[in-house]
Structure 1
């Protein structure tokens, strides 16, 4: 608080750094009147804020001994206030800055100025000294009676610090936060548990050594990419979550998709041998289709209507007005994906898609290709020595084309196979929301000059590979 000397003509003010002292008017009425007379202001009456500066007192008041006593008393008051605050008695004052300042300031002024008045007076020196000493003894004794236990305070702070660390760890996306939380792993990655995630990391880590100038760890790069596929989060969102730039997120996703496409897909999406297929053939197909090699169907994914120049070029069929990508997927009777084609424009025929994606090369003479509807590929399959059948429908000899609707005794078989394929396709899309579309333009162009696959084609294949690593939830019983 800033005080101004009340003596007429004096402009001294109490400001930080000043060497002047400012004194409150005495409580004793007789001495107070002498001070008022010395101020020499006609009709003036002091109030609680009235002060006199030290320049208007006799030289004895400025002796080093008196000032030294005042300094010591001020230091003691400050030390006592600090101890009281540490003991928690200053919390109520801390809530209101004004309340914290005024009581401390008032107490300090009372103690210092009363001490100054008692030290500088002559007639009533003994009367003022005793109350001051009693006041000091009471306040300091109260502060010293309650010792500060710094060991307990330190233990409490350490415990609080550990709790905060654990809370932050649970909210973070780190290896430790996912290690013992299968639900969290499943939510962010689509994989069933941390062991599968760790296995994927082990397979990909050797191929990630060449990725330079990336501030994210290998685990963070994999987790970021899986979250992009699983939750279809935008790059800006992932940049906020991982504390990286949007450009870093974009490059990381493309690089990781390429690595997983070349490393993980060949490992998890493959055409099983005929012996393996027959060994694991479900009982529901053993009697009706013992040579079933694959169950096929097509699915589509919408993409952004405005295509960039050069997007979906060549085999993808630029110039079409259709705004969907079409994929041929092959599912083993056991419920795992064994084949997935590249994407073509949605108006491309099934026959052109099957003949151009390499599916027919997988077939062996005598294999049975099962479908739930006519995909118009019977002749192409027959040319490979295999047989195309629509589950439950009558087959015309040699042509592989269905005639009429399925008879009543095979209707249940058709329904079972159809649901089986639909469950696998919907499972992949549910597990990785990015496959539901719409596909963003940067993902529809070829990822490499030497490849006919777009980045999104690789994403579809990677999603199928990751789905195969999970326990099949769509077995054909």
Structure 2
């Protein structure tokens, strides 16, 4: 329907009738005042208070400070003078609508008090009939309390004949208004309380909405970041997002909207918590196929950006930062700690055998992952994997390799100590040292246990059943999607170590700019 209508409860004022014809009843309609930013602090605060005061006065559930539809208007019947006052006149009775609001929470403003304040500021009413303000008749017709007590005032007023015949009902209304200033204070306090309650309710609804949508505001709590992603804090998450966001794709046209922030969060929830994709798609309100596509796209981008963080260290730099116990035990000989872990692959219910892949990672004594293998068949022993995965190509003859129980050597000690040697065929081999030599380094067991298992313990996806499609080779690449997942988990583990020593993320940023 064309035209405007009043949004105040039980007010039926309209500018046009049902047939679309304009109603000439003298009623005018006014928009809600806007919060004017960037006009100075005082203007910003004043306009903000006024907008909140209008919302509190009208009391509509569909109106909030952040959402006022342009179609919502307030008619002139709710103002003493028939229109809103100037925004700078905060004590003016019509600074906020107060008449016929359908509730009694907002009391009528004290008009006489406003007029006295005007006189105290030595503001005289103009002497020309044409410029006499709407409030001039009220000054002429009503004696204030100060005047009744004999306090002299100078008020020059020239009234027209029509103004002399002001409606007696208006005069009666003015005389019945309580002149005590405490009434105004109480009214202002109630209005402020109402505004505060509205703001608190608005904030509560915003938090509920952010939690429902798993939006950025919900994840700003560092404890939630640790739980959902494994990252140490929200700042680390922001650094990671900032560097991978330019490479993340958008969902195909027609799909549900999923921000880049949510794509990264969705991916880390899958890695850290090992949640099934059906569960994650429900949390984000997506189809499982859409959620899976977002996961695969994000993993590919993370792999391209972060894989360089898993790199073989420079021997001189590694030796200079070698923990003292390792340095004393091995007299400066390079030492690497290896770990093998199995990943279970989902198989059809009619297949009895369980398919498994094995991965080997090499970890420096400082706890940094410096090597990760491709997935190898689970029927190979850990020692066979160590011999064939390419790890020995980075080692020199005489280097020491430490491993846990999985290498089935010296189980009574709980770890294996082996040395890289060259056999007659010219190839490097990993040969176990004697039991006595292995026992000699058994005091290092606590340090080795700290670095072994860190990846699998953090990222539960590696201990859950992996869909069989994830072990297929990626198109045009020599790695499988599961290889990418394992590499990303290792790279993020290293990233967290670096971010722990560089809170601002400088080292991580420089590494991405170099390798990304």
Bin for the TM-score computed over the shorter chain: 0.5 to 0.7
Structure number with larger C-alpha Rg: 1
Question: 1:365, CA displacement in angstroms?
Answer: 4.8
Counterpart in 2 of 1:221? 263
Question: 1:293, CA displacement in angstroms?
Answer: 3.8
Cα-to-partner distance string for 1:229-283 (whole Å, 9 max, x where unaligned): 11111222222222222211000111111111222121x2111011111011111
1:340 is matched with which residue: 372, 375, 379? 372
Counterpart in 2 of 1:411? 439
- Inter-CA distance 279–380: structure 2 relative to 1 (3 Å threshold): closer
1:294 is matched with which residue: 329, 332, 336? 336
Counterpart in 2 of 1:271? 312
The answer for unaligned runs of 5 or more in structure 2 is 1-99, 106-176, 410-416, 500-516
Cα-to-partner distance string for 1:34-81 (whole Å, 9 max, x where unaligned): xxxxxxxxxxxxxxxxxxxxxxxxxxxxxxxxxxxxxxxxxxxxxxxx
TM-score normalised over the length of structure 1: 0.56
| Larger RCO (CA under 8 A, 6+ residues apart) | 1
Question: 1:360, CA displacement in angstroms?
Answer: 2.5
Contact 1:225/1:257, CA 8 A, preserved across alignment: yes
* Structure with the largest fraction of helix: 1
CA distance in 2, matches of 1:440, 1:466: 22
CA distance in 1, matches of 2:262, 2:101: 49
Contact 1:378/1:387, CA 8 A, preserved across alignment: no
CA distance in 2, matches of 1:427, 1:276: 23
Counterpart in 2 of 1:62? none
Counterpart in 1 of 2:301? 259
Q: Does 1:331 align with 2:363?
A: yes
- Inter-CA distance 432–443: structure 2 relative to 1 (3 Å threshold): same
CA distance in 1, matches of 2:388, 2:477: 15
CA distance in 1, matches of 2:382, 2:192: 76
Q: Does 1:457 align with 2:487?
A: no
CA distance in 1, matches of 2:432, 2:195: 80
Partner of 1:406, secondary structure, is helix
Question: 1:190, CA displacement in angstroms?
Answer: 0.1
- Inter-CA distance 157–281: structure 2 relative to 1 (3 Å threshold): closer
CA distance in 1, matches of 2:352, 2:385: 15
- Inter-CA distance 370–342: structure 2 relative to 1 (3 Å threshold): same
- Inter-CA distance 249–307: structure 2 relative to 1 (3 Å threshold): same
CA distance in 2, matches of 1:239, 1:201: 21
Contact 2:251/2:258, CA 8 A, preserved across alignment: no
Counterpart in 1 of 2:394? 362
Q: Does 1:158 align with 2:186?
A: no
Question: 1:196, CA displacement in angstroms?
Answer: 1.4
Contact 1:203/1:264, CA 8 A, preserved across alignment: no
Contact 2:343/2:462, CA 8 A, preserved across alignment: yes
The answer for unaligned runs of 5 or more in structure 1 is 1-82, 89-143, 309-318, 389-399
2:385 is matched with which residue: 336, 344, 353? 353
CA distance in 1, matches of 2:485, 2:283: 22
Question: 1:177, CA displacement in angstroms?
Answer: 2.8
Q: Does 1:205 align with 2:231?
A: no
- The alignment yields a C-alpha RMSD, in angstroms, of 3.9
Cα-to-partner distance string for 1:324-372 (whole Å, 9 max, x where unaligned): 2211111111011111112222112445533543322222455333334
CA distance in 1, matches of 2:476, 2:455: 28
Contact 2:455/2:489, CA 8 A, preserved across alignment: yes
CA distance in 1, matches of 2:343, 2:263: 26
When the two structures are aligned, how many residues end up with a matched partner? 311
Partner of 1:287, secondary structure, is helix
Contact 1:305/1:323, CA 8 A, preserved across alignment: yes
1:303 is matched with which residue: 340, 345, 359? 345
- Inter-CA distance 361–415: structure 2 relative to 1 (3 Å threshold): same
